[in-house]
Amino acid sequence: MCRRGPDGLISLLFVKVPMQSLPRPRSLPARTARPRTMLRFTPTAWAKLLFLRDYGSTEVGGFGISAAGDLLLVTDFVLVPQVCSVVTVAFDDVAVADYFDQQLDLGRQLEQVARIWIHTHPGNSAHPSHVDEETFERVFGRSDWAVMVIVACGGESYARLRFQAGPGGSLRLPLEVDFQTPFTASDQAAWEEEYLRCVRSQPGFSFPEDTLCEPRSLEDALGFDHPRQPRRQRHRLPQKPV
C-alpha cells in the first residue's frame, strides 16, 4: 500500500499477509489411461462361435448381436440360411431380411443386430481375402459403422472397425472373451440344430484334411489354462499380425 509523508514523498508500505489467507492452487486431476477400444465376447457367444466354426469343413457366417448399452460387446452369434464352401459364404437375401425383422420384433435396435459381420476360415489364416474386403465394402460401406470379424480354424482371429464419422477411417480391434459379463450355459443341441437348419455346403474346392482343425474342448475354447487352474477374467485371443 502507498503512504504520503510530511515531506510530500510517497513511500511504499509492505504488509505481511498470513500464509493461510492466500488461496491455495488447485491440484490437477490425475491423468488416467484411456481404455483401449476392443471387441469383447461373452463366454457363451464365443463358445457358440467356435462350436459352429468347427462343426463342418466350410466357412460359416452370421451376425453378432450386441448388448444394448455396449455395442462392442457380442452376446450372441446368429446364423442365417446360407450356401458355403471352404472359401465363400453366400447369405440368402430373404432370410437376412427376415432375420432383421425378427430381431426388431424382439425389441432390439438395428445397430445391435446388423453391424458386426462374423465369419470363419477353415484354414489357419484369419487374414481377409479380396472377397471378404469386397463384401465388407459392398454390404456395409454405407453404414455409419461396422465390424468385420474373422475367426480361423487354427485359432487366429481378426477384427476391424470401419466408421463414417468425420473423414471416416478404420481401426483394428483386439478380441477378448470377457468373463466379467453375465453369461448363460452352453446349449450345443440348439447350436447344432441352428447349423443344420441354416448351413448348406457347396461342393467344390476343399482343403487337405491335415489343414483342417479338430474340435477343441470347451475349456480350450474359452481360454482356460487348465481345468484345475483359476479362470482368468478376460482372455486375450490370438490376433492376426498387422
Domain ranges in the chain are 39-207
* pLDDT score recorded for residue 74: 98
* pLDDT score recorded for residue 136: 94
DSSP three-state, residue 45: helix
CA 61 to CA 121: how far, in whole Å? 10
Which helix (H) or strand (E) element contains residue 41? strand 39-41
* pLDDT score recorded for residue 188: 95
Q: Name residue 53's beta-bridge partners.
A: none
CA 74 to CA 147: how far, in whole Å? 11
Which helix (H) or strand (E) element contains residue 149? strand 145-152
What is the CATH T-level fold of the domain 39-207, as seen in this structure?
A: Cytidine Deaminase; domain 2 (3.40.140)
Q: Which residues in the chain come in under a pLDDT of 70?
A: 1-35, 204-242
Q: 159-179: b or e for each residue (b if 16 or more CB lie within 10 Å)?
A: bbbbeeeeeeeeeebebbbbb
The DSSP code sequence of 58-115 is S--EEEEEEETTEEEEEEEEEE-SEEE-SS-EEE-HHHHHHHHHHHHHTT--HHHHSS
The CB density around residue 214, as the number of other CB atoms within 10 Å, is 6
Q: Which of 149, 130, 175, 158 is nearest to 242 (CA)?
A: 158
CB 10 within 8 A of CB 20: no
Please state whether the predicted TM-score (pTM) of the whole model is above 0.85. Answer: no
* pLDDT score recorded for residue 2: 56
CA 96 to CA 58: how far, in whole Å? 20
The β-bridge relationship of strands 82-84 and 199-201 is parallel
The number of CA neighbours under 13 Å toward the Cβ of 28 is 3
